[in-house]
Structure 1
Amino acid sequence: MGGEGRLLSQGEKRHKHPDGGWRSCHTCNLKKGEYEMASLQAVRLRTEYLDNPLGIDATAPRLGWRLTEAGGLADAGGRRGAAQSAYRIVAASSADRLAGDGENAEDAENAGNQWDLWDSGVVASTESQHIVYGGVPLFSGQQVFWKARVWDERGEPGPWSDVASWSVGLLSRRDWQGCWIGRRIGRKPTREQPLPAVYLRRRFAASAGIRRATVYATALGLYRLHLNGARVGSDELSPGWTDYHVRVAYQTYDVTELLRPGDNALAVALGHGWYTGYIGMYGYQKYGMDPSFLLQLNIEYEDGATESVCTDESWVVSYGPIVGADLQMGESYDARLEQPFWQQTAFDDTGWEPAERMYDYRGLVVAQMAPPVRAMQELRPAEVRRLGGDRVLVDMGQMTSGYARVAFRASRGVAYTLRYAEALDENGELYTANLRLARQTDSYTCAGSGRETFEPIFTYHGYRYVEISGGPPPAAEDIVGIVVHSALPETGRLETSDPLVNRLLANIVWTQRANYMSVPTDCPQRDERHGWTGDAQIFARTAAYNMEVAPFLDKWLTDLDDGQRPTGAYTDFAPFIFGPKTEFDNDFTYTHTASSGWADAPPIIAWLLYEIYGDREVLRRHYSGLKRWMAFNETMYPSGIRRDAPQYGDWLSLPERPLEEAKAELGWLVDSLSTTPYDVFGTAYYAHGAAATAAIAKALGEEADAERYGALAASVREAFVREFVGADGVIKGDTQTVYAMALAWDLLPQERRAEALARLTGKIEAGGVMAATGFHGTRLLMDVLSDEGREDLAFGLLVRKEYPSWLYSVLQGATTIWERWDGWTEERGFQRPGMNSLCHYAFGAVGEWIYKHVGGIASDPSAPGFARAIVRPRPLGGLTRASCSYDSIRGLYEVVWRLDGAGKLTLEAAVPAGGEAIVHVPSLPGTPVLETGGMKMAGAAFAADAAIGGEAVERRGTPASEAEGVVALGRVGDCETFRVGSGRYRFVSEWHREGGIRP
């Protein structure tokens, strides 16, 4: 019987099929787990990229999940071809309402009463990310609980997922009942004496029967919040850095467990941060004169009653032990001024003064949707060395961002000084010249109460070394390095047979950690720390391998939108501290706006986020700004040639032509900062940006715009060739970078490409396989060489040890990426200190190339969101093995390869459920490629020797083209190419022995 009224037989379950009909399956005779293992399950449910977020202000948030075989490990690369064919999402106002599974028709009748917010029904779709909530309208403060169920490629349903949740923030300014409070300090900071923190508190009573308590808080400045003596949340430097001229973010915390019936106390320390402190190279108080604080505590009771506690004049204010705090200058703490238990209810605050109502903030108050800054790791000193007197030098062994937590034992009034630096000079002392005006100095004055622990809360430093002086030196065990940065999930892992390359990869990751501090900064130590757009867009693809950057960079694109000039020009860094302008002004000159390669960042990064994460909403959100930017360019450069005034160019390239010739054209910026002509550089970026905007328009279905911007890109390419390319193929400037740009961005007709490649490779070989490119050229150089068949040069550049090279800094003991190729050389020592950060990620953009060509995992632009990956490792450059994984938004891709001394190459790949890969297996012409039935990775992609060495058992393979789930696509270059679905695969081929440089 096919009707829904048929009685079920013993052990039979019924489920709704994606085609709308009801199907049955028998489970009584299956062993425990077999039914589940035969199907897929949704796991790792997230809302707007976040795990169970609180206080988001998206009224129709996007939902997503990963797929796993039910009962198995997520992303385990299970059975071949496993894929989702349909899903169902249900949402309710409480977790209890999601208890029913709706599996039978009878259950389904009752489900509607329980799933009171949304039931998507069964939706035939392979999509598991960015699914827009479509339920009843949501209101401020509402909690939403949801779960999902998926059907596999055979139409079989899996079990329901675990329950996930989100809560809605305060959607309207009217929902905020309090006012901004603080204290007017009445003086300006100095480098030696930053302004003190302000302390605020309020006692209040709560009734019995508390069901839920939620705090919404933010500051113009920085804040650290406590409730009844307990710290609220674990975020650092909240609320983070936004363009305060336009918006500030608020944070949401569930404080139900901290609130109690009866008396309670809220207490907050308020610092200056980016709002009033020193910022960039431009002094202090660029947004406002004094910090202020805004809070609302909403309490819900079991009987349905509600009440709110808000910031107002009933709060009281005082000063305290933080007598000065600044992000660049450091923090000063005088423990003698502590007011013990000031965060507690019983504290006597009768000596405190009423809080002042501060100016009403006219900008937007929005939910924080990007990961907060947090203390992420602890480092133990690698060495603690006495310098003489009471000075000790602490080497953390790793350049990082954060501060030291130190325990002191000294008499009352003993004042310690902690100075931070990236490196040591030739005398073994702190090298601080490159900090410019940033002091990076903390101080602590002891109360004399025994063991006292100092940990600053309103500053951070870029450092490896700390000099501590002023009193009895602390013991090594009393010193801990706290690593602080934005809490982005780390997604990429790669290990090779070359320990120097591995250290380079580690240096890249550490540099990203140190500079992803609420915004993507250029450096964590000197008086700059700006969100420079050029640096960020150059590094973005490498960043996306290392970490999940989508919400972080999306937020930063909003910072760029907020700073966009009325003319449509984007700024060169964001947030833009100089505020809005209301007239045309001189946006096209050197005013930190509209600089080629910098202001071009928004279309480049927006497209990247779509390609890597499949996030079309990012494109839609920023599209109007991109159109205004294109209109600005069309107005300013009607000929298609960007003739910019002096700007940055290919920043920090090495000279490739006589210095006097370069000076005549490039002016003050020459000094090894850029040798590529600005008009060539700018026009190349104009074409690239127009092409990216055309692709974005097409992805959004804006066909007319796509055609228009595509035509614009073509006309700029034509202008580039007409203006800059000589009859002999020489491009104006004749630098490595001009050829890398022309080849990477298809600026040349097909018949002119060989000339450009010959010029490029000749220049590299003339220096003994040496790169002379700056930030921008380096980002393109390696891919161009690989794509144009000169992988020998690309791998030669990677493993080069002499200056200039990536491994040169590694061999000098660097633990992060330097700003310059010659940040330090054996012949000269340190570069001139004005521009010599030792923690700057731009040259670390080579990480993308290493992941793609050594690790072998790349995105496929035609299948956004890693719906399909390109697996193409290149066993060259003397490398004999690599283990790589990338935790994409769709799931975990893994590649492990090994080349033995006889030339046998073993390549193993794992593809997540719902994913696909095009696998390029290097092989000698005329030799077979076998597939031996899946990988044995010993549980981890990083145990390469165990995976492919001693533990792996040789198995008789079959021709790969005949293997299950493998489709042969033919030979491409020196590879046999296959399409595979989800699962694990093991290919064996014959290749050149020991990874020779040239195949």
Structure 2
Amino acid sequence: MVTVRKVRIEYKRNPLGIDVQKPRISWQLQSDRRGTAQQAYQIQVSVEDTFQLVLWNTQKVDSEDNLHIPYEGPELVARTRYFVRVRIWDEQGQVSPWSEIGHWETALLAAGDWEAQWITPAEDHLNRQEEAAFLLRKEFEVRPQIRSARIYSTALGVYELHLNGTRVSEDRLSPGWTSYSHRLQYQTYDVTGLLNDGANAVGMALANGWYKGNLAWDGRSNIYGDRRAGLLQLEIRYEDGSRQVISTDETWSSATGPVVYAEIYHGETYDARLEISGWSEAGSPSGSWGTVETLAPPAAVLKAQESEPVQVVSEIKPVELIHTPSGETVIDFGQNMVGWVAFRVTGEAGTTVTLHHAEVLDGEGNFYTENLRSAKQQIRYICKGGQEERYEPHFTFQGFRYVKVEGYTGELRLDAFTGRVVHSAMEQTGKFECSNPLLNQLQSNIVWGQKGNFLDVPTDCPQRDERLGWTGDAQVFIRTAAFNMEVASFFTKWLRDLQADQAEDGAVPFVVPNVLDGYSSAAWGDAAVICPWNLYVCYGDRRILQEQFASMKAWVEYIRRQGDNEYLWNTGFHFGDWLGLDAKENSYIGATPTDLIATAFYAYSTQLVSKAAEVLGLEEEARKYKELHSRISEHFHLEFVTPNHRLAAPTQTAHVLALMFGLVEGPAKERTAATLAKMIEDNKYHLTTGFVGTPYLCLALSENGYHETAAKLVTQTSYPSWLYSITKGATTIWEHWDGIKEDGSFWSKDMNSYNHYAYGSIGDWLYRVLAGLDAAEDRPGYKRILLKPQPSEEFEYASAELESMYGPIRSSWRRDSESLTMAVEIEIPANTTAQVTLPEAAADRVMEGGTLLSQTEGINSVRQLGSAVVFEAGSGKYSFSYPLAARLAEQTV
């Protein structure tokens, strides 16, 4: 029997508090039968979980679609829970049982739904520049027989919410970081179980965060505003149908408490002696409480939470206590991570424990923080005394592996310290492993780099005085990111901020949200096009193209207006092949000409805009940009390719981009590929690429007949290579290939992050090429899967798994060099198909579970293409085995 499972609304299971007017419904099918497909579906939506009164009933819809089906029922009402269930008819016409009941709940759908006012401590009570976190509180009475209660809240700053002495949510650093001048997220919390009959109290703790705090390396603060403020609306519904609203207004009180200092970069100081007992409980809390005043609403539009909230996702225990040569006491957590340390301490009142955070130790084994630049990453805890105390930070985060402890009284025991790993709470969806243990560590490093830098925005690094949403880093990594984790909501939110911060002329900022002054470098601004296209390919999300198409087109038109030739981009500032190893002395920009890079990305983005227009049914736009792409390609060839088919720029990156973006064809393509491979081989299988060339390097080699060259490059361990950092003990991806040099010294302290995910984009090659798990663009979201393992002499096996929107996909191969046999295992989720390519195989010698391939259930259209066998497969699990072509050749001889 086919069953329907994992019903999701806007990518989430049972979301609470969304403001999407036509939320999309998706589901998976589960079946042990091969070739299972959906023929039709029926969706029912009700405001009752009994479905006695059905609000929207699609009836039976003949369609194989089971992703992103938009709700088309009556207009949704704010503050309402909607229940949904789905059933399907399979390819045999059999109807499934109804799915488990899912639900979503609407938030506040219009500005008029807000009754709350923005409040902040009165100026005559607390200085607006006060460093301490503000405490805001309100007492209220509640009648018996509560049916439900919701809080809708946000802040100018970051906040924690407490109700009757209990933390309302596990969310951290809410409301997250958006383009605050345009958009501000608010959160919805179910607090039904936290209310008491009679007296209650609600409290909000409020710190600077990204809104008002120090951002970037020039020490700027108050970028979005100079006053922290809170907004909260508690709505209580009673069994008799009545409604009570408690919201922020002039009747609230304010004070400061134990968080006397909090900054994202610099850390937090917590004085436990200043704790206010019962500050969020009914009664008369201690402390000096004053009045609040209301503020005019900010210009930003309030939006319900779009991405996953930041949460403590896991914990790490320390692995070693180190006493350094210089006498420091240092805790090693064994993993470069992002979050903070929770600890226990017993000390007299006033005892101060200070934690300093660092990524590495220096060559002599001492604590090293120079690469943090001005970021202090310092936690200070001042004891109240009398008993064991427990503490973890509230309004900051650190990037670290090592923690230097000062002022700790008594014996320092490792079990008193716990690393709390913090990032956006995305589901981990991908897994890769192979026969090379160093490469498995690289995969771990890639995932940890993503965890550390996907903290509400895709940041470049999580430790120094930067931590910004660099557009170039995001676009080169997005495809790898979408394998490792479910990033659709995360990037959807970020792309909305990119569009909000995009200039009227189409220029795209270097960072999003934009807190710098720079715009429009090639490969950085192209995130406006590359990111939405990849979300479409990976998740089948057509709406992201609809939302972002104006932004995508505006970026291409911006480029088109630059310079005196609309088909070349040869003007303006560009980061070029950032940190390329072929850069001139004292330069961060690689040797590849920036106009070549800019024109190549211009061509690529134009091609993607044309594809997006075609998907959206915009035929004229598709034709227009297809023609523009053709002209750009022609001019690229005239400008950068000689009559003898030689690429004018003798760099690895130039050759990589020309190949990957289809800018050379025929003899020029052959020569470019051969030259690239020779560059790698002549350099003893080392790369010289930077941020622009590295993501595509191995893809370009493998796709153009030099797969073994790519494999040798990936498994290289000496500098410069991906695995060099592994030999130096790295547990995340480095910003520089030689962040730690052979002699133990460091690259420049000015820019040397040890958690910088851009070079982790090699994960894309590991998944899509080596393991062979890919999506077809013409049937996106893995509706049609391309399973094409590409073994190499460098590996005995490789395996990739992905929890797609349709369900689990697997591609795994194992090569036995002694017996010259190959084993390939695949898994295809229900309601999808796959094109499978078995390498070095003969069609009449491939067996699946003891049956010849041609007689295997679920397999059709078997073809022999050269030394590979290609066929179509329906859903199910398959296990293939066959002798390699080399063995067959020996037997023939």
Shared fold (TM-score, shorter chain, > 0.5): yes
Indicate conservation of the 8 Å contact 2:434/2:799, yes or no.
yes
Between the two proteins, the alignment pairs up a number of residues equal to 881
Q: Which residue of 1 aligns with 2:156?
A: 220
Secondary structure class of the residue paired with 1:970 = strand
Indicate conservation of the 8 Å contact 1:299/1:306, yes or no.
yes
2:11 to 28, 46, 49: 49
Structure 1 position 992, deviation (Å)? 7.2
1:427 paired to 2:371: no
Distance 1:592 1:389 in 2: 42
Structure 1 position 615, deviation (Å)? 0.4
**Are the structure 2 counterparts of residues 154 and 421 from structure 1 closer, same or farther at C-alpha, using a change threshold of 3 Å?**
same
Q: Which residue of 2 aligns with 1:644?
A: 571
Question: One-letter code of the match for 1:290?
Answer: R
Give RMSD over aligned pairs: 1.7
1:903 to 804, 814, 820: 820
Distance 1:917 1:573 in 2: 38
Question: One-letter code of the match for 1:269?
Answer: A
Structure 1 position 758, deviation (Å)? 2.1
Structure 1 position 874, deviation (Å)? 1.9
1:267 to 200, 203, 214: 203
Structure 1 position 931, deviation (Å)? 2.9
**Are the structure 2 counterparts of residues 594 and 682 from structure 1 closer, same or farther at C-alpha, using a change threshold of 3 Å?**
same
Moved more, 344-353 or 748-757: 344-353
1:436 paired to 2:373: yes
1:201 paired to 2:137: yes
Q: Which residue of 2 aligns with 1:297?
A: 234
Question: One-letter code of the match for 1:84?
Answer: Q
1:991 paired to 2:863: no
1:89 to 43, 53, 57: 43
1:543 paired to 2:543: no
Secondary structure class of the residue paired with 1:834 = coil
Secondary structure class of the residue paired with 2:139 = strand
Structure 1 position 558, deviation (Å)? 0.4
Structure 1 position 971, deviation (Å)? 2.8
Structure 1 position 972, deviation (Å)? 3.4
Distance 2:463 2:45 in 1: 46
Distance 2:212 2:639 in 1: 47
Indicate conservation of the 8 Å contact 1:890/1:914, yes or no.
yes
Alignment of 1:119-130 (within 5 A): 119-130=57-68
Q: Which residue of 2 aligns with 1:727?
A: 643
Alignment of 1:151-190 (within 5 A): 151-183=89-121
1:278 to 206, 210, 214: 214
Indicate conservation of the 8 Å contact 1:126/1:914, yes or no.
yes
Gaps of 5+ in 2: 888-893
Question: One-letter code of the match for 1:159?
Answer: P
**Are the structure 2 counterparts of residues 380 and 990 from structure 1 closer, same or farther at C-alpha, using a change threshold of 3 Å?**
same
1:654 paired to 2:571: no
Structure 1 position 471, deviation (Å)? 3.1
Secondary structure class of the residue paired with 1:223 = strand
Indicate conservation of the 8 Å contact 1:540/1:605, yes or no.
yes
Indicate conservation of the 8 Å contact 2:41/2:62, yes or no.
yes
1:686 to 602, 605, 619: 602
Secondary structure class of the residue paired with 1:920 = strand
Question: One-letter code of the match for 1:803?
Answer: Y
Indicate conservation of the 8 Å contact 1:406/1:474, yes or no.
no
Distance 2:149 2:322 in 1: 49
Distance 1:490 1:763 in 2: 37
Question: One-letter code of the match for 1:243?
Answer: S
1:65 paired to 2:27: yes
Q: Which residue of 1 aligns with 2:865?
A: 972
1:698 to 614, 624, 628: 614
Query: How big is each residue's C-alpha offset from its partner over 1:44-100, in whole Å with a ceiling of 9 and x where there is no partner?
Result: 11110011111100111000111113xxxxxxxx2111111111111111213x2xx
Q: Which residue of 1 aligns with 2:499?
A: 561
1:463 to 400, 403, 419: 400
Q: Which residue of 1 aligns with 2:669?
A: 753
Distance 1:859 1:614 in 2: 10
Structure 1 position 183, deviation (Å)? 2.4
Question: One-letter code of the match for 2:528?
Answer: P
1:813 to 725, 729, 734: 729
Indicate conservation of the 8 Å contact 1:906/1:988, yes or no.
yes
So what's the TM-score if we normalise by structure 2? 0.96
**Are the structure 2 counterparts of residues 737 and 745 from structure 1 closer, same or farther at C-alpha, using a change threshold of 3 Å?**
same
Structure 1 position 249, deviation (Å)? 0.1
Distance 2:166 2:750 in 1: 44
Moved more, 176-185 or 489-498: 176-185
Structure 1 position 644, deviation (Å)? 2.9
1:480 to 413, 418, 435: 418
**Are the structure 2 counterparts of residues 724 and 215 from structure 1 closer, same or farther at C-alpha, using a change threshold of 3 Å?**
same
Distance 1:188 1:804 in 2: 50
1:241 paired to 2:177: yes
Secondary structure class of the residue paired with 1:846 = helix
Indicate conservation of the 8 Å contact 1:184/1:290, yes or no.
no
Distance 1:833 1:121 in 2: 64
Secondary structure class of the residue paired with 2:192 = coil
Moved more, 958-967 or 736-745: 958-967
Q: Which residue of 1 aligns with 2:781?
A: 865
**Are the structure 2 counterparts of residues 877 and 326 from structure 1 closer, same or farther at C-alpha, using a change threshold of 3 Å?**
farther
Structure 1 position 633, deviation (Å)? 1.8
Q: Which residue of 2 aligns with 1:914?
A: 831
Indicate conservation of the 8 Å contact 2:552/2:609, yes or no.
yes
Alignment of 1:235-384 (within 5 A): 235-282=171-218, 283-348=220-285, 351-384=288-321
1:676 paired to 2:592: yes
Distance 2:263 2:772 in 1: 44
Distance 1:621 1:927 in 2: 46
Query: How big is each residue's C-alpha offset from its partner over 1:828-882, in whole Å with a ceiling of 9 and x where there is no partner?
Result: 6210011111100110100010011222211111211100111111221421122
Query: How big is each residue's C-alpha offset from its partner over 1:2-36, in whole Å with a ceiling of 9 and x where there is no partner?
Result: xxxxxxxxxxxxxxxxxxxxxxxxxxxxxxxxxxx
Moved more, 87-96 or 315-324: 87-96
Distance 1:389 1:599 in 2: 46
**Are the structure 2 counterparts of residues 922 and 800 from structure 1 closer, same or farther at C-alpha, using a change threshold of 3 Å?**
same
Query: How big is each residue's C-alpha offset from its partner over 1:913-957, in whole Å with a ceiling of 9 and x where there is no partner?
Result: 111111111225x57442323xxxxxxxxxxxxxxxxxxxxxxx2
Give aligned-pair identity as a percent.
Answer: 39
Distance 1:694 1:317 in 2: 55
Structure 1 position 822, deviation (Å)? 1.2
1:605 paired to 2:531: yes
Indicate conservation of the 8 Å contact 2:363/2:744, yes or no.
no
Q: Which residue of 1 aligns with 2:756?
A: 840
**Are the structure 2 counterparts of residues 736 and 389 from structure 1 closer, same or farther at C-alpha, using a change threshold of 3 Å?**
closer
1:630 to 536, 542, 556: 556
1:575 paired to 2:513: yes
Structure 1 position 731, deviation (Å)? 2.5
Indicate conservation of the 8 Å contact 2:276/2:285, yes or no.
no
Distance 2:815 2:369 in 1: 46
Structure 1 position 820, deviation (Å)? 1.1
Distance 2:744 2:332 in 1: 24
Structure 1 position 367, deviation (Å)? 0.4
Structure 1 position 990, deviation (Å)? 1.8
Distance 2:287 2:263 in 1: 29
Distance 1:814 1:454 in 2: 29
**Are the structure 2 counterparts of residues 504 and 341 from structure 1 closer, same or farther at C-alpha, using a change threshold of 3 Å?**
same
Distance 2:346 2:886 in 1: 61
Question: One-letter code of the match for 1:889?
Answer: M
1:525 paired to 2:487: no
Distance 1:525 1:733 in 2: 36
Structure 1 position 131, deviation (Å)? 0.3
Question: One-letter code of the match for 1:888?
Answer: S
**Are the structure 2 counterparts of residues 839 and 678 from structure 1 closer, same or farther at C-alpha, using a change threshold of 3 Å?**
same
Secondary structure class of the residue paired with 1:833 = coil
Distance 1:877 1:884 in 2: 18
